[in-house]
Amino acid sequence: MSQFRTSFKVGVFLGYRQLKRASRWTTGLIVFIMTLTFLNLVVVSGILIGLIVGGNIANRNQYTGDVILTTPYGKNDIQQSQNIISTLQANPHITSYSERFIDGGTIEANYKTRTDFNDLANTTSTQITGIDVNHEEQFSDISKYVTEGNFLDPTESGYIVLGSNLLERYASFDTGTLLKGVYPGDTVKVTVNGATQEFIVKGILKSKVGQVSLRAFITENDFQRLAGRSSLDANEISLRHDATLTDDQAKQQLVASGFDSVAKIQTATEAIPDFLNQIKLAFGVLGNMISAIGIVVASITIFIVIFINAITRRKFIGILKGIGVSPLAIQISYLLQSLFYAISGSIIGTVIIYGFLVPLLNKHPINFPFSDGILVADPMGTFVRFLILLVVTLIAGFIPARMIVKQNTLDSILGR
């Protein structure tokens, strides 16, 4: 044990001397490569996963809230909706909620100008959604997503706000069933359950959440008149709670009140479609594959650096062995150099990730076509990637050092 301790101390001394005498440019370049490798390990998979996570966050903020109640299978609406709403209003931990009334319908835009019935109607099918404007605004801040015109005014009647994906000019591809040439101020004809009414387009709502951008919104009162509903039972109720509750606890409170018998109750996580979770897993695997390439590049870089360093110092290594320095001490010196490169690069990379990239992308997400991507960098996952990089770097530094140290001492001194 004392022999190993002596070898370790000598190895530390030799490693420190070599690093101190090494070219600053060379050392800086190697540390820079290790920094890029660490960033590649964390950032690539973090961005890919963040693309899905960003979409899930938007879905929570604009649609599901923390918990969402939807119409159960086989029913037309959520019965006892007013009892549910009264319970939410009485719960001090519920900060906001929005009840939505939904029915399938069609919107036609060229009904006033189409003189030939052989011409295709400028129409689209969608979910006509009646909302309490004040509740929805408090819940999702929906008006900030209006890209043209304005959002609904609760004191007005006869206005409609269209989701952008109902319009041809916003769609990424033409399905042939989207509205053409519709702008705020135009009049459209809305049909629900055979009843028809004219609405003035008040605004265009652009969102990357499908349940928002594929709907048309009118006031709750207009919806009741158009759809001919006599009950106040909603089709969706989304709610948000304060920090004293978890999503599961908020859900269980509703279940304990017996509302699971009249509504399908899901947390925001449970409401995420399964295929999105599968995509998230696939992106994670893809990110790890790309990161593995970076690890290979880093290990080859360290191997070459240590190997060239050891080759150019063969004579010196031979002299060290000749005067009694143990091969283990020499190997430790090169392992410590590899360790220095890996730790320095990882520390710099960590500072860049958590001090710059994560806050920046949280504030200014990447504008992907279907979500606002963020950088997901779980601390434990980052630490695991650091350990992987450390182990690979140590192996890459150990192999060439051992190759040179194992050579015959006399041959090393004479350069043979």
Please state the φ and ψ torsions of residue 64, each to the nearest 5 degrees: -80, -25
Residues 6+ apart with CB under 8 A from 336: 11, 12, 15, 16
Judge if 41 and 130 occupy the same domain: no
Judge if 282 and 227 occupy the same domain: no
* Listed residues 233, 248, 267: the one ending a domain: 267
Judge if 48 and 72 occupy the same domain: no
Judge if 255 and 306 occupy the same domain: no
| pLDDT score at 334 | 76
| pLDDT score at 399 | 79
Q: Which domain holds residue 198?
A: 66-267
Judge if 51 and 131 occupy the same domain: no
Judge if 216 and 347 occupy the same domain: no
Judge if 159 and 115 occupy the same domain: yes
Judge if 48 and 182 occupy the same domain: no
| pLDDT score at 328 | 73
For every residue of 59-117, DSSP letters joined together read HIIIIIBSEEEEPPTT-SS-TTHHHHHHHHHH-TTEEEEEEEEEEEEEEES-TTT---T
| pLDDT score at 259 | 93
Judge if 16 and 109 occupy the same domain: no
| pLDDT score at 196 | 93
Q: Write the pLDDT tens digit of every residue in 351-376.
A: 999 999 999 988 888 888 778 888 88
Judge if 152 and 231 occupy the same domain: yes
Residues of the chain with pLDDT under 50: none
Judge if 210 and 311 occupy the same domain: no
Judge if 260 and 383 occupy the same domain: no
| pLDDT score at 154 | 92
* Listed residues 240, 267, 294: the one ending a domain: 267
Into how many domains does the chain fold? 2
| pLDDT score at 295 | 76
Q: Write the pLDDT tens digit of every residue in 75-123.
A: 889 999 999 999 999 999 999 999 999 999 999 988 777 666 666 778 8
pTM for the model: 0.78
> Collapsing DSSP states into helix, strand and coil, what is residue 267?
strand
* Listed residues 267, 291, 312: the one ending a domain: 267
With CA atoms as reference, report the closest residue to 226 among 112, 128, 151. Answer: 128
